[in-house]
């Protein structure tokens, strides 16, 4: 009952309340981002949601669009601005995703929505992460976020799908608050963002 009805109802109510309460911050970050980023303060990208359905994710931009002499984007760590680091350290870059939650594209808690091109790279077990709506935070995020491997992330994602409950969601939300305050797991060991998932060829589990 919770998985199929009450979870969505709570997501709608809580995301609407959060948007109303955080509206001044959202406006401030929108104006500040537009000034510091020299234009559009939002980052939008297609991501797969529940059952692999594609939706448009919205975040605050944390990286500029600087390119090298060949016209190619510079590495993430060179495009991540001081303002962007602030957004990531505080997780403020994620706040516009409240709109995605309100619309029903996402949930407050669930596996994070990853890139569309990853859809063909998952093993059958890993692909089960799409049996539920993707989340603003999730079991993998409170157990390491970008500081753990892809394989560990996907194990946590499937564990969440198998054990989804109201009590688990409450636990993850409380742990997320602690993680944000402590600023744990923001970056991976080798990059400003998580390295690309290339898949596990030949594995079907």
- The answer, yes or no, to whether residue 192 has pLDDT greater than 60, is no
Measured distance CA(118)–CA(105) in Å, rounded: 18
Q: Please, which residues have CB within 8 angstroms of residue 57's CB and are 6 or more apart in sequence?
A: 44, 45, 46, 47, 97, 100, 105, 106, 113
Report the predicted TM-score, pTM, of the whole model to 2 decimal places. Answer: 0.87
Which tens digits make up the pLDDT trace of 61-73?
Answer: 998 877 877 878 7
Q: For residues 113 and 137, what is the distance between their CA atoms, to the nearest angstrom?
A: 10
Reference 105, options 130, 87, 124, 88; nearest CA is: 130
Which string of b and e fits 60-79 if b means at least 16 CB within 10 Å? bbbbbeeeeeeeeeeebeeb
Q: Is the pLDDT of residue 74 over 60?
A: yes
pLDDT tens column, 37-54:
888 999 999 999 999 999
> Considering the chain, what is the average pLDDT of its residues?
89
The 10 Å Cβ neighbour count of residue 148 is 18
């Amino acid at each position: 009952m919770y998985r199929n009805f009450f979870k969505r109802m709570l997501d709608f109510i809580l995301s609407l309340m959060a948007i109303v309460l955080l509206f001044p911050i959202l406006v401030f970050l929108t104006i500040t981002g537009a000034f510091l980023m020299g234009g559009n303060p939002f980052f939008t990208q297609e991501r797969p949601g529940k059952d692999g359905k594609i939706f448009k994710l919205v975040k605050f931009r944390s990286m500029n669009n600087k390119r090298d002499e060949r016209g190619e984007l510079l590495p993430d760590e060179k495009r991540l601005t001081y303002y962007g680091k602030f957004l990531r350290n505080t997780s403020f870059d994620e706040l516009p995703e409240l709109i995605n939650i309100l619309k029903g594209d996402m949930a407050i808690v669930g596996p994070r929505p990853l890139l569309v091109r990853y859809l063909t790279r998952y093993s059958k077990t890993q692909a089960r992460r799409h049996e539920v709506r993707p989340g603003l935070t999730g079991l993998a995020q409170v157990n390491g976020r970008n500081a753990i491997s892809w394989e560990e992330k996907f194990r946590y994602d499937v564990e969440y799908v198998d054990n989804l409950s109201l009590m688990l969601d409450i636990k993850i939300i409380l742990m997320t608050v602690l993680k944000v305050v402590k600023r744990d797991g923001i970056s991976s060991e080798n990059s400003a963002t998580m390295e690309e998932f290339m898949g596990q060829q030949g594995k079907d589990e």
